[in-house]
Structure 1
């Protein structure tokens, strides 16, 4: 079953598979009288999965500053000052979350193995579902901390909403496959023995990109998100009820 919407809307693909088509009678032959004891009823294991391709609605922009100086203290002081100033400016923007990223200071050695100078690198992450606002803010900070990386993802709220819809689809698929299996082998129906719920959110992220920003702070970074697959799977086992007369 496939449902689709064009022009960037999400696509829904429903995939069904029999993980273990193990349709085998348990120890002891089937009871002609329809005994409901577990050891007397044939069992089968099934799996159904619903998958949706969802448009990524969140961008995480990595701002980075690299500083080089003769002493470790000078690098630490300059890097901390830059990070503090940029973080203060980044905070307080509606719908944009600013957090600290990696921070590192390390020595550089000359050909004789002696320390020639020190380098440092610090990062700040900007995360938002408002691409235009995030792009504008990142551009305004780029003179001190250029954009080092862009990453797109699906927000937790959108993922939860999509998984809720997929759960219903996967449940319908599981019930349909269970009944089809019962019909195929001449049984009246089935009873559930065990159900296990699983899911995955395979993320397809933009590869890390180093970006040089224009001097003009009004220039915005063009942001174009992609998609990722969100899935919900149901695995379970069933008892097959008495054969049809």
Structure 2
């Protein structure tokens, strides 16, 4: 390499190093007139999924017989539930534990508990099925939720509203600070849902000897999309 080529190479390296240094300084330099903002949009969404948990809980001195009786009760309930169209059937937790005598030294019996979980968008069908199964199983819990597809559809719509609310606040704050415009530095969107409590009396009405299905009030949840971000106010 000639002396001229070496000099040009050295100069190019120096320019590149200088440019890198200037870019780093620009990134590290403070940015003024930055403000953090929060805005959100929300709406009530009706629950469209029903969840019911039934359970079998029995006690027997013979653990093998107890396990067999529990399995038979579950199998019969599952077979009946699978006949109802649109109902998702699954088994929940199952456990057994010993019952001791008063002195606590000898096992007098065993107790076993097993759960059956049902889910459906057809409230009437699941409500009637629950009433039918309460002759064989006990009520554990009833709850309602928003289906994933329904939640996604509402969140997509709310995102536009949340961004519009954020832009409106950014514009309002820019004017309050005497700025001519603003620049968006960052923006984060998040969602949340707050369920409305269902009266406990609706569950208590479902007695084992009540053949008719109870009236269902599924309620709703408030779906909210939040927009959190930072803007930089541009001064005149």
TM-score tier by shorter-chain length is: 0.7 to 0.9
User: Which of these residues, 95, 114, 131, is aligned with residue 123 of structure 2?
Assistant: 131
Quick one: distance in 2 between partners of 1:57 and 1:84? 28
RMSD, matched Cα: 2.0
Quick one: distance in 1 between partners of 2:210 and 2:168? 60
Matches within 5 A, 1:83-98: 83-98=74-89
Contact 2:43 2:223 survives alignment (8 Å): yes
Contact 2:131 2:210 survives alignment (8 Å): no
User: Which of these residues, 208, 217, 230, is aligned with residue 213 of structure 1?
Assistant: 208
Map of 1:240 onto structure 2:
233
Answering whether residue 176 of structure 2 is matched by residue 184 of structure 1, we say yes
Structure 1 gap ranges (5+): 1-36
Report the structure, 1 or 2, having the larger helix content.
2
**Alpha-carbon spacing, 1:205–1:97, altered in 2? closer, same or farther (3 Å):** farther
User: CA offset at residue 215 of structure 1?
Assistant: 5.7
Contact 2:193 2:221 survives alignment (8 Å): yes
**Alpha-carbon spacing, 1:190–1:92, altered in 2? closer, same or farther (3 Å):** farther
TM-score, normalised by the number of residues in structure 2: 0.80
Structure 2 gap ranges (5+): 1-27
Map of 1:48 onto structure 2:
39
User: Which of these residues, 183, 189, 212, is aligned with residue 197 of structure 1?
Assistant: 189
- Higher RCO, 1 or 2 (CA under 8 Å, sep at least 6)? 2
Quick one: distance in 1 between partners of 2:199 and 2:73? 26
Quick one: distance in 1 between partners of 2:83 and 2:36? 53
TM-score, normalised by the number of residues in structure 1: 0.77
Count matched residues. Answer: 205
User: CA offset at residue 41 of structure 1?
Assistant: 4.1
Moved over 3 A (4+): 37-41, 204-211
